[in-house]
Amino acid sequence: MKKIDLDILTTAFAGIETIADPAQVAKLSQDYHTFSPVLAPKLEGKVGDIVVRPANEQEVLKVAAICAKYRVPVTVRGAGTGNYGQCVPLHGGVIVDMTRMHEIVWLKPGVARLEAGVKLAALDKQARGIGWEMRMAPSTYRTATIGGFIAGGSGGIGSIQYGLLSDRGNLLALRVVTLEDEPRIVELRGDDVRKVNHAWGINGIITQLEIPLGPAYPWAEVIITFEDFITAAKFGQALGNADGMIKKLIAIFASPIPQYFHALQEYIPEGVHPAFLMVAESSLESLPGLVQQYGGQITYQKPAQEAGKGTHLAEFTWNHATLHARTVDTSITYLQSMFPADSSLQLVEHMYHYFGDEVMMHLEFLRVNGKVTPGALQLVRYTTEERLNEIIRYHEEQGVQIANPHTYIIEDSGRKVIDSEQLKFKEMVDPYGLMNPGKSKVLQFKITS
Amino acid sequence: MKKIDLDILTTAFAGIETIADPAQVAKLSQDYHTFSPVLAPKLEGKVGDIVVRPANEQEVLKVAAICAKYRVPVTVRGAGTGNYGQCVPLHGGVIVDMTRMHEIVWLKPGVARLEAGVKLAALDKQARGIGWEMRMAPSTYRTATIGGFIAGGSGGIGSIQYGLLSDRGNLLALRVVTLEDEPRIVELRGDDVRKVNHAWGINGIITQLEIPLGPAYPWAEVIITFEDFITAAKFGQALGNADGMIKKLIAIFASPIPQYFHALQEYIPEGVHPAFLMVAESSLESLPGLVQQYGGQITYQKPAQEAGKGTHLAEFTWNHATLHARTVDTSITYLQSMFPADSSLQLVEHMYHYFGDEVMMHLEFLRVNGKVTPGALQLVRYTTEERLNEIIRYHEEQGVQIANPHTYIIEDSGRKVIDSEQLKFKEMVDPYGLMNPGKSKVLQFKITS
């Protein structure tokens, strides 16, 4: 890799918005990998050289040509809300900030075409005007962009209905700009979207996406408390399995996690284990029967017409639970787990008792291959990297799948190997291996050779 | 039970529409139990004495008071599209035809309030005007009424998304008129709806219902053919499990069933095994990838904008498949089965091979307690009642649940025992046991004693 000559780049980028101020560049070299005490030191000081902010696809083509010509590393970013260092340039270079490309290209009932930098909340606002909304969104949806979500996300609020982002049907098309000498626009549709979906943003610069939408039910928010964690978890599973009830969120927290949610203290007495729900208003009347069956207490209920006001329960779920815990206690970190689909929740129960307070259980129910499955973003009281790895290993040995959020290397995270189709596509669109080199073991070899 | 004096009844019903013409009364004493060669002789000649057609709830109250006063059996009917003799009066008496009560009381996004005699197709037409539709409907939806469906149905087209009619959340409220000396109106909401839901129409006269609606996706219709039945079935399961794809119907037919579907001959070559699908237009582009994976052939595709025109695939599914087969060969009858939720479909495969052409496999995938499960309405080449019972017994022994459609006795059908809550409610609303006496073993005893 050549030494980066900033002057040459700046001149070449003429006409396109750039940021060269080191403080701002450093800020735009960050994401939320600081949730991980393992990643934080490893990624410390990794910054880009310059930020470029293309306003349209033509400018992206130009940026790509320049970076290819000068063999400069390219790191693409949206809002930088990821947690694995996806936006952190491992070898400096150009940061391509996509947030100026925030046009909703078109929106029709059930489908939207978007530029990569469209914020999820902005899309939802527009889509709800015609009765639709995003099928699923991360807890960072207020700031996150659709491009970043597709590149690095796996699911979220809504996955209890629609499964994972990578499931067939949850992404209809996407378009990338290649990093060839003469960059091209490549549009992928149907199963081909898999070549870029969840490829950590290194398989071409995503410029546009087409996603299916879900009907915008009026969502009510509910907190239900239980005396016993496992009963709360079983309630979550039963609600997930209740096919006649429409839900968008089923999050279950073991005590003492709710103590980190200051805004919700009055609804969650100390020592209880709450379920946070988003349920369609038309299913609300069916809830008390199920709650009673599991001995729960409805302590909070916000009707759908107040959805826009006050506290939004979703903001405390998925990885925002970790965020809230860390504002109180920065020694806390987290895991990302997928338990086996087993309605009896045996392994959940085992882990809950086995680790006690060291690994605080936070379940997020979602659909995995047709089955309601407990995912988990457990909060871990961090001591050492060794102990963290021991905890991860124990989970894996017992049959819990861990998508390790304490590595920035693709093969060490959830996927273990890079999909061969993604690799082939990567070689085509990024022949010089410029897209954030260092993120993959196989690719790293190629680039440094 | 007193001998029925028609003159007294006719006088008492003054001001309410009645039908006394024996030919018409006989016709309105029928349903589609003739699908069963076992039921047909048993129910032959069972007719009511008079039909009364109330126009509103006040008239229902009056009818109920008269029937209670004179201790006359009461059989309630909608369109008479059921298959278990639900509408056949076992001991004569008054037939209450609810089809004049067809007002949509109100309709709002996601919920509808209906009089019992509203036809499903009429509701859908209105509801689609505001973007919604029935969550599930039987193949008889063009003529069937909502009251009859709730009283006797269990699910249908749409159950692959929303599960069974009896699942929590699929029925929000219902209202019945009692058969007490002074009939009352009783409104049930929440879990209480179970007291009347699927109670064979004998737990009070249902006058109004409140049901949740589903979003009216633009539905495309697709036929896919496979060389091999089990592959077709596995494709159905995989599509069912594909959480990102929105579907309303997944029906799989073993050859030679499609030969009975004359209107569709050109799309289904002899010897192949087709899947009939209704899929949201936004999921259509994701279908070929999955079809290819299972080696299927898309032979027919009708876009959603032509949904109202020409052949409607749903008309060949669920129990309409039986109807079509019987128009060609009246010796054919059917089973209603629920296989265990098992994605490998081992028991389906076993039964397919074990019975061969005698029991022709027709799967309808649906959600049961959160899992995509193969239901089946197998077509049976009928020989004797003994052999039919042997077939049923074999299925049950192997772990297939049979909702026996060859009995009009509640305890001999799918449920085996009447729910105790339903029984308690029945005793309150029908203290004289007037509602189609003879349908239950426990109730029969009481009434004849």
pLDDT of residue A416: 63
Q: Which two tokens stand for residue A65?
A: 């040509």
Give the residue from B436, B386, B433 showing the smallest Cα distance to B406. Answer: B386
* A189, A191, A289: residue with CB nearest B190: A289
Is B348 part of any domain?
Answer: yes
- Cα distance from B449 to chain A (closest Cα, Å)? 37
Residues A253 and A276 in one domain: yes
pLDDT of residue B410: 81
Listed residues B215, B237, B268: the one ending a domain = B215
Q: Which two tokens stand for residue B36?
A: 């069963």
* Backbone angles phi and psi of A122, in degrees to 5: -70, -40
- Cα distance from A260 to chain B (closest Cα, Å)? 32
3-state secondary structure of B388: helix
Question: Is residue A77 within 8 Å of residue A96, measured between CB atoms?
Answer: yes
* A244, A281, A369: residue with CB nearest B170: A244
Q: Are strands A297-302 and A219-226 parallel, antiparallel or unpaired?
A: antiparallel
Rounded CA-CA distance A280/A220 in Å is 6
- Residues in chain A with CB shorter than 8 Å from the CB of B246 are 169, 212
Closest chain B CA to residue A216: B215
- Residues in chain B with CB shorter than 8 Å from the CB of A242 are 163, 167-169, 370
Single-letter amino acid code for the residue at A448: T
Q: Which two tokens stand for residue B174?
A: 């219902």
* B131, B245, B285: residue with CB nearest A131: B131
- Cα distance from A197 to chain B (closest Cα, Å)? 14
- Cα distance from B378 to chain A (closest Cα, Å)? 24
Sort residue B254 into left (φ over 0), alpha (ψ -120 to 50) or beta: beta
CATH number, domain containing residue A175: 3.30.465.10
Cα angle, residue B359 at apex, residues B355 and B360 outer, rounded to 5°? 115
**Contact between chains at A215 and B218 (C-beta distance less than 8 A):** no
Is B284 part of any domain?
Answer: yes
Residues A231 and A367 in one domain: yes
pLDDT of residue A447: 45
Residues A161 and A292 in one domain: no
Residues A127 and A245 in one domain: no
Is A352 part of any domain?
Answer: yes
CATH number, domain containing residue A392: 3.40.462.40
- Residues in chain B with CB shorter than 8 Å from the CB of A367 are 243
Question: Is residue B54 within 8 Å of residue B206, measured between CB atoms?
Answer: no
Is B228 part of any domain?
Answer: yes
**Contact between chains at B282 and A164 (C-beta distance less than 8 A):** no
Residues A302 and A168 in one domain: no
Per-residue buried b or exposed e for B159-185, using 16+ beta carbons within 10 Å of the residue's own CB: bbbbbbbbbbbbbbbbbbbbbbeebeb
Residues B174 and B228 in one domain: no
- Residues in chain A with CB shorter than 8 Å from the CB of B168 are 242, 244-245, 286, 289-290
**Contact between chains at B246 and A189 (C-beta distance less than 8 A):** no
pLDDT digit string, tens, across residues B83-94: 889 999 999 999
Residues B206 and B185 in one domain: yes
Give the residue from A295, A400, A396, A387 showing the smallest Cα distance to A346. Answer: A400
Q: Which two tokens stand for residue B434?
A: 């007037």
* B170, B281, B369: residue with CB nearest A241: B369
- Residues in chain A with CB shorter than 8 Å from the CB of B167 are 242-245
Half-sphere exposure of A35 (CA within 13 A, CB side): 28
- Residues in chain A with CB shorter than 8 Å from the CB of B172 are 282, 285-286
**CB-CB neighbours of B327 under 10 Å:** 11
* A110, A244, A282: residue with CB nearest B163: A244
Q: Is the dihedral of CA B239, B240, B244, B249 positive or negative?
A: positive
Is B52 part of any domain?
Answer: no
**Contact between chains at B370 and A343 (C-beta distance less than 8 A):** yes
Residues A270 and A381 in one domain: yes
Structural domain range at position A116:
104-215
* A218, A288, A370: residue with CB nearest B372: A370
Per-residue pLDDT of chain A (449 residues; tens, 9 = 90+): 456 789 999 999 999 999 999 999 999 999 999 999 999 999 999 999 999 999 999 999 999 999 999 999 999 999 999 988 999 999 999 999 999 999 999 999 999 999 999 999 999 999 999 999 999 999 999 999 999 999 989 999 999 999 999 999 999 999 999 999 999 999 999 999 999 888 888 899 999 999 999 999 999 999 999 999 999 999 999 999 999 999 999 999 999 999 999 999 999 999 999 999 999 999 999 999 999 999 999 999 999 999 888 889 999 999 999 999 999 999 999 999 999 999 999 999 999 999 999 999 999 999 999 999 999 999 999 999 999 999 999 999 999 999 999 998 887 776 666 788 899 999 999 999 999 998 887 765 454 43
* A109, A169, A215: residue with CB nearest B242: A169
pLDDT digit string, tens, across residues B321-370: 999 999 999 999 999 999 999 999 999 999 999 999 999 999 999 999 99
Is B29 part of any domain?
Answer: no
**Contact between chains at A162 and B285 (C-beta distance less than 8 A):** no
Listed residues B185, B215, B245: the one ending a domain = B215
pLDDT digit string, tens, across residues B173-209: 999 999 999 999 999 999 999 998 888 888 999 999 9
pLDDT of residue A440: 81
3-state secondary structure of B299: strand
Per DSSP, what are the bridge partners of residue B115? B208
**Contact between chains at B190 and A288 (C-beta distance less than 8 A):** yes
Is A419 part of any domain?
Answer: no
pLDDT, block means (10 residues), chain B with 449 residues: 79 96 96 94 96 98 97 96 92 97 97 98 96 96 95 95 97 97 97 89 95 97 98 98 98 98 96 98 96 98 89 95 97 97 96 98 98 98 98 97 91 72 93 91 53
Give the residue from A125, A76, A80 showing the smallest Cα distance to A104. Answer: A125
Give the ipTM of the model, two decimals please.
0.95
- Cα distance from B164 to chain A (closest Cα, Å)? 7
Question: Is residue A226 within 8 Å of residue A274, measured between CB atoms?
Answer: yes
Rounded CA-CA distance A10/A64 in Å is 14
| Domains in chain B, number | 2
Q: Which two tokens stand for residue A118?
A: 């469209």
Is B158 part of any domain?
Answer: yes
Rounded CA-CA distance B177/A36 in Å is 63
**Contact between chains at A168 and B371 (C-beta distance less than 8 A):** no
**Contact between chains at B169 and A371 (C-beta distance less than 8 A):** no
Listed residues A215, A249, A267: the one ending a domain = A215
Burial zone of B371 (CB within 10 Å; 0-12 exposed, 13-18 middle, 19+ buried):
buried
Residues B164 and B140 in one domain: yes
Rounded CA-CA distance A112/A101 in Å is 15
Residues B146 and B267 in one domain: no
Q: B168-171, long-range: CB within 8 Å, 24+ apart, which pairs?
A: B168/A242, B168/A244, B168/A245, B168/A286, B168/A289, B168/A290, B169/A242, B169/A243, B169/A244, B169/A245, B169/A246, B169/A282, B169/A283, B169/A286, B169/B212, B170/A244, B170/B135, B170/B136, B170/B211, B170/B212, B171/B197, B171/B209, B171/B210, B171/B211
Residues A253 and A292 in one domain: yes
Which residues of chain A approach chain B closer than 8 Å at the C-beta?
A: 109-111, 131, 135, 161-164, 167-170, 172, 189-191, 212-213, 215, 217-218, 240-246, 280-283, 285-286, 288-290, 343, 367-372
Residues B208 and B127 in one domain: yes
- Residues in chain A with CB shorter than 8 Å from the CB of B131 are 109, 131, 215
